[in-house]
Amino acid sequence: MSEALGPVADRLVAAGQAAVLVTIREARGSTPREAGTRMIVTPEGLHGTIGGGRLEWAAADRARALIAEGGTQSIMSVPLGPAVGQCCGGQVLLALARLDREIADGIARDERAAAADWPVVLLFGAGHVGVALARALAPLPLALRWYDEREDAPATAMREDPAEAIAVAPSGSAVVVMTHEHRLDYAITEAALLRPDLAYVGMIGSATKRARFCRGFIANGNDSGQLDRLTCPIGGRKLSDKSPAVIAAQVAAELLNVLLA
């Protein structure tokens, strides 16, 4: 996901700063970004990206020329081949429009509507890895609901009851469990596995922790077949670097592969 442009557009319009919105209207063949992708160009910089490279440079150049000329709209058709120094082989049609209040409000509406359809990730735990994962997920097209009942947890983490949070989670949500104690991890993970409509249930820990959880899950009278849905350890292949940021990056990639495939 690119940088959220709604707040940027609102700030630029409120300040009366000249800017141009560049939108990919059509994308044919192999292109770096899809139709609907936007960026905002000012005389001094860029916000968002339509794919980088010579395509983005040419669009920014045209947008700044539009600002200098006092124009309001322009169209660019760009073949992504040797002519622009790119080898994608596709073609994009760009629409350029001088940023104003109506356009800024439209950007905000579109971004709110898109975010309403993002898959939900319930993250339980605000320890070192939990904080790192929350940061890793922040720029992604995923709706994060972060929970930790401890008083010293980050202010952005909610203190709601985990069982209630899982009960009301939308179908297709992902649950990632990494609290400060094993018993709480087990209780939350068990509740999540009893929701067969969840897309992902992951619990931080070793193979030994998984085995212990599985024994308890079955002893509680649950269907052992549900354990096939449990991801533990999380993050896929284990690397020699087990720092929170590395684990968070692996788990974020795992979630994207499950939720956005």
Q: Are 38 and 107 in contact (CB under 8 A)?
A: yes
Q: Which pLDDT value is given to residue 160?
A: 85
Q: Is the pLDDT of residue 35 over 80?
A: yes
Residue-wise pLDDT for 193-209, tens only, equals 999 999 999 999 999 99
What pTM, to 2 d.p., does this model score? 0.84
Does residue 85 have a pLDDT over 80?
no
Q: What is the pLDDT of residues 223-259, one digit of tens each?
A: 999 999 999 999 988 888 899 999 999 999 999 999 9
Smallest CA-to-CA distance from 148 within 126, 181, 180 is with: 126
Quote the Cα angle for 187-153-246, to 5°: 80
**154 — pLDDT class (breaks 50, 70, 90):** confident
pLDDT tens digits for 87-134? 566 889 999 999 999 999 999 999 999 999 999 999 999 999 999 999
Q: What is the pLDDT of residue 1?
A: 47
Q: Where do the domains of the chain lie, and which CATH numbers do they carry? A: 6-115 (no CATH), 118-259 (3.40.50.720)
| Cα pseudo-dihedral 226, 228, 232, 237, rounded to 10 | -160
Distances (CA, A) of 4 to 53, 59, 131, 156, 243: 21, 19, 21, 19, 29
**Percent of the chain predicted with pLDDT > 90:** 81
**Is the separation of the CB atoms in 23 and 51 below 8 Å?**
no
Beta bridge partners of 91: 28, 79
Task: Give the distance between the most distant pair of CA atoms in the chain.
Answer: 74
